């Protein structure tokens, strides 16, 4: 009945042009616009759907997309150089915005719509 091989996730943003500029221009991800929505191509024929909600958009209060990286500190430095600001959680993240308290190293940031994203160390 359900074909999980074709499943995908999605989340809302304020505006597609703003999202496209960030995901393609800042993060360097391949994106495709279709029918007024934005697809982020995340590899191996997998995509994430972004759809505009305009003024009714409310940012997710949880991490909606994680990007595994080989070196979290390098990824943080490179993204900061592009203007990305990292979130700081009291007692959890260091001055750079990296959580080094157990589990994989991880650092959180937001897209222009306020949705939470992360870079985290690959095992």
Residue 44: the pLDDT is 83
Beginning with the edge strand found earlier in the chain, give each strand of the sheet holding 31-34 in spatial order. 9-13, 46-52, 37-43, 31-34
Q: How far apart are CA 73 and CA 119, in angstroms?
A: 9
What is the predicted pLDDT for the residue at 38? 98
In terms of Cβ atoms closer than 10 Å to its own Cβ (0-12, 13-18, 19+), residue 119 is buried
Q: What pLDDT does 67 receive?
A: 96
Q: Do 53 and 13 form a contact (C-beta atoms < 8 A)?
A: yes
Q: What tens digit of pLDDT does each residue of 46-92 get?
A: 999 999 999 999 999 899 999 999 999 999 999 999 999 999 999 99
Tell me: pLDDT of 45 over 90: no
pTM equals 0.92
pLDDT band at 7 (very low <50, low <70, confident <90, very high): confident
What region does 99 belong to: left with phi over 0, alpha with psi -120 to 50, or beta? beta
Query: What percent of the chain is predicted at pLDDT more than 70?
Result: 100
């Amino acid at each position: 009945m359900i074909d999980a091989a074709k499943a995908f996730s999605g989340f809302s943003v304020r505006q597609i042009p703003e999202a496209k500029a960030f995901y393609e221009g800042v993060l360097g991800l391949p994106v495709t616009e279709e029918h007024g929505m934005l697809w982020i191509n995340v590899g191996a024929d997998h995509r994430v759907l972004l759809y505009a909600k305009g003024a009714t958009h409310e940012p997710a209060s949880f991490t909606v997309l994680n990007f595994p990286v080989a070196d979290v500190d390098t990824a943080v430095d490179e993204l900061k150089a592009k203007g990305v600001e990292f979130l700081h959680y009291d007692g959890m993240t260091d001055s750079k915005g990296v959580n080094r308290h157990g589990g994989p190293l991880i650092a959180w940031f937001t897209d222009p719509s306020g949705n939470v994203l992360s870079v985290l160390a690959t095992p």
